[in-house]
């Protein structure tokens, strides 16, 4: 398939990519010169033509006003769109993607063979199983409890298996509803803010400050060690906190997390702690919020096999909702989460769960850590490259992300320059919130030869 064919296919199979692109051109981000395929231009013109508009049928259903508050496209589809546009402009370029943060290395066979066996079993009477428990299979819940939370008092029934942490973030938002306030690290993984907007927890986007009204943005900068000054943070019902952090790559220390738990306790808030990168930690920082005394009364933890075991496509994650966590009326949060899981989700794939269980066998754990170790070597290569070029570089040690500072520059401009001149896709820091402006995130997920080649091109560009 040619590049333009594959782009056309991705357009026709992804309505979000299509709508983002038309949105994007009209909002003037500065790539109007990039040629688009005739198909795309044709459809856009057709919708814009007045005589055509008269015949367009509209339903009487009002658009969800919260959806209308969302800004442009979700960050990663937008980056994919720009990458595709770049490929159209330079069809022969060897584009290297260090942007979206998708894993690249094969899943170890000790894990895939368990999935294959489960899958083949489905063709037999004995091995067939249909719907499973919505909360996940007991052996997997028990294995997660003992492997990751052994000494922290988390029990099997506190764990809900899911199809990924991102999906659980949205399900948690459904539990919280529209009448809560929320805080996020700034910068942070975009799903927290966007799901909050969709749920109607926020006001409109304020263009002057690049923030949604009513969200408390907890600024995380190099100056404060990427941990917010909690004395300046207002009370909110919910606090999203990700450590090791995407995108800054920094991990909170035990003392900092103790402060966070005390802050939540003082304010009667719930922390949603995202530990999707905990196994990448090199420092002796907590891997789980439940290492902090008292956290079970104020925190939920969501995590994922995506970056641990290359399950970004397989899809498997989990969320811990301790039975000690109560709403203001004394009702257990876990019971409401269970209700949402049973209503909105019918349980994770049984094949994926077989793979997840195999990950936690002694051989599976060893294999998982080997792949993580490989990505950590990639991270070192990227960190060394930018250090050697004189940049201020953060992250990398405890997460597969390197956070590079370009003081005084717009991150989308830096993103565009790097793409244009090196054919390497990165992620603009401002896509993670106003606190990310002036940074780019470089992901360490890549084949070794691509990481080395990307670093060679960075050295040429910035020498
Ligand atoms: C911080 C963070 N949380 C959650 C996710 C999504 O995880 P999953 O693939 O399990 O939905 C990601 C993916 O990049 C992430 O960076």
Q: How many CA atoms lie within 13 A of 301 on its CB side?
A: 29
Is residue 63 situated within a structural domain?
no
Do 132 and 221 lie in a common domain? Answer: yes
pLDDT in tens, 232-275: 999 999 999 999 999 999 999 999 999 999 999 999 999 999 99
Judged by DSSP in three states, 425 sits in strand
> Which phi and psi (to 5°) does residue 459 adopt?
-65, -35
Q: Which helix (H) or strand (E) holds 212?
A: strand 211-212
Number of domains in the chain: 3
Report residue 41's pLDDT band, with 50, 70 and 90 as the boundaries.
very low
User: Residue 95: which of 456, 341, 454 has the closest Cα?
Assistant: 454
* 302 alpha carbon – ligand 1 mean position (Å): 9
* 216 alpha carbon – ligand 1 mean position (Å): 21
pLDDT of 43 above 50: no
| Ligand 1 atom showing the smallest separation from residue 169 Cα | 4
Is residue 52 situated within a structural domain?
no
| Ligand 1 atom showing the smallest separation from residue 242 Cα | 1
Question: Could you tell me the two tokens for 149?
Answer: 């939370």
Residue 409 and residue 438 in contact, taking contact as beta carbons nearer than 8 Å = yes
Residue 313 and residue 81 in contact, taking contact as beta carbons nearer than 8 Å = no
Do 33 and 165 lie in a common domain? Answer: no
Do 173 and 234 lie in a common domain? Answer: yes
Do 446 and 327 lie in a common domain? Answer: no
Do 388 and 243 lie in a common domain? Answer: no
Is residue 25 situated within a structural domain?
yes
Q: How many CA atoms lie within 13 A of 68 on its CB side?
A: 4
Q: Between 41 and 390, whose confidence is greater?
A: 390
Do 13 and 141 lie in a common domain? Answer: no
> Which phi and psi (to 5°) does residue 395 adopt?
75, -160
pLDDT in tens, 121-138: 999 999 999 999 999 999
Is residue 64 situated within a structural domain?
no
Report residue 279's pLDDT band, with 50, 70 and 90 as the boundaries.
very high
Residue 393 and residue 385 in contact, taking contact as beta carbons nearer than 8 Å = no
pLDDT of 30 above 60: no
Of 164, 187, 194, 276, which is best to mutate to test ligand 1, by the most ligand atoms within 8 angstroms of its C-beta? 276
Residue 31 and residue 416 in contact, taking contact as beta carbons nearer than 8 Å = yes
Do 221 and 340 lie in a common domain? Answer: yes
Mean pLDDT (the chain, rounded): 90
* Whether residue 244 has its Cβ less than 6 Å from ligand 1: no
N-to-C CA span, the chain: 37
CATH of the domain at 316: 3.40.640.10
pLDDT in tens, 165-180: 999 999 999 999 999 9
DSSP calls for 439-451: EEEEE--S-HHHH
Do 10 and 140 lie in a common domain? Answer: no
Q: Which helix (H) or strand (E) holds 10?
A: helix 3-13
Indicate the residue among 297, 332, 363 that finishes a domain: 363
* 313 alpha carbon – ligand 1 mean position (Å): 12
* 242 alpha carbon – ligand 1 mean position (Å): 10
Do 144 and 262 lie in a common domain? Answer: yes
């Amino acid at each position: 398939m040619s590049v333009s064919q594959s782009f056309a296919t991705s357009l026709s199979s992804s309505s979000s990519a299509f709508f983002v692109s038309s949105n994007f051109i009209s909002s003037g981000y500065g790539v109007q010169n990039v040629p688009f395929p005739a198909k795309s231009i044709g459809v856009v013109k057709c919708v814009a033509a007045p005589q055509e508009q008269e015949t367009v049928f509209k339903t009487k259903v009002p658009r969800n006003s919260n959806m209308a508050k969302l800004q442009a496209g979700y960050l990663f589809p937008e980056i994919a769109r720009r990458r595709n546009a770049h490929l159209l402009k330079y069809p022969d370029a060897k584009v290297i993607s260090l942007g979206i943060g998708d894993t690249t290395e094969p899943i170890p066979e000790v894990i895939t063979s368990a999935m294959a066996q489960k899958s083949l079993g489905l063709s037999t009477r004995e091995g067939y199983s249909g719907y499973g428990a919505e909360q996940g299979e007991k052996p997997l819940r028990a294995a997660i409890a003992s492997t990751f939370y052994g000494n922290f008092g988390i029990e099997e029934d506190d764990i809900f298996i899911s199809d990924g942490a991102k999906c659980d973030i949205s399900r948690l938002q459904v539990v919280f509803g529209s009448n809560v306030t929320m805080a996020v690290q700034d910068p942070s993984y975009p799903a927290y803010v966007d799901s909050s907007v969709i749920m109607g927890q926020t006001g409109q986007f304020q263009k002057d400050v690049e923030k949604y009204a009513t969200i408390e943005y907890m600024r995380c900068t190099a100056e404060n060690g990427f941990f917010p000054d909690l004395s300046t943070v207002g009370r909110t019902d919910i606090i999203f906190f990700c450590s090791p952090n995407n995108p800054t790559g920094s991990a909170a220390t035990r003392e900092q997390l103790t402060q966070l738990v005390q802050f939540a306790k003082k304010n009667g808030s719930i922390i949603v702690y995202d530990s999707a990168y905990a196994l990448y930690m090199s420092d002796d920082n907590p891997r789980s919020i439940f290492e902090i005394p008292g956290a079970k009364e104020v925190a939920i933890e969501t995590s994922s096999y995506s970056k641990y075991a290359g399950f970004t496509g397989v899809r498997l994650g989990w969320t811990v909702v301790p039975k000690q966590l109560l709403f203001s009326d004394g009702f257990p949060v876990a019971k409401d989460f269970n209700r949402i899981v049973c209503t909105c989700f019918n349980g994770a794939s049984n094949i994926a769960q077989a793979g997840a269980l195999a990950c936690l066998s002694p051989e599976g754990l060893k294999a998982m850590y080997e792949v993580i170790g490989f990505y950590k070597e990639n991270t070192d290569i990227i960190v060394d490259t930018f250090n050697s070029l004189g940049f201020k570089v953060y992250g990398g040690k405890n997460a597969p992300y390197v956070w590079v500072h370009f003081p005084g520059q717009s991150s989308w401009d830096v993103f565009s320059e790097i793409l244009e001149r090196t054919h390497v896709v990165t992620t603009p820091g401002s896509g993670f919130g106003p606190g990310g402006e002036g940074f780019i995130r470089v992901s360490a997920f890549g084949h070794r030869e691509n990481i080395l080649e990307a670093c060679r091109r960075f050295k040429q560009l910035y020498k």
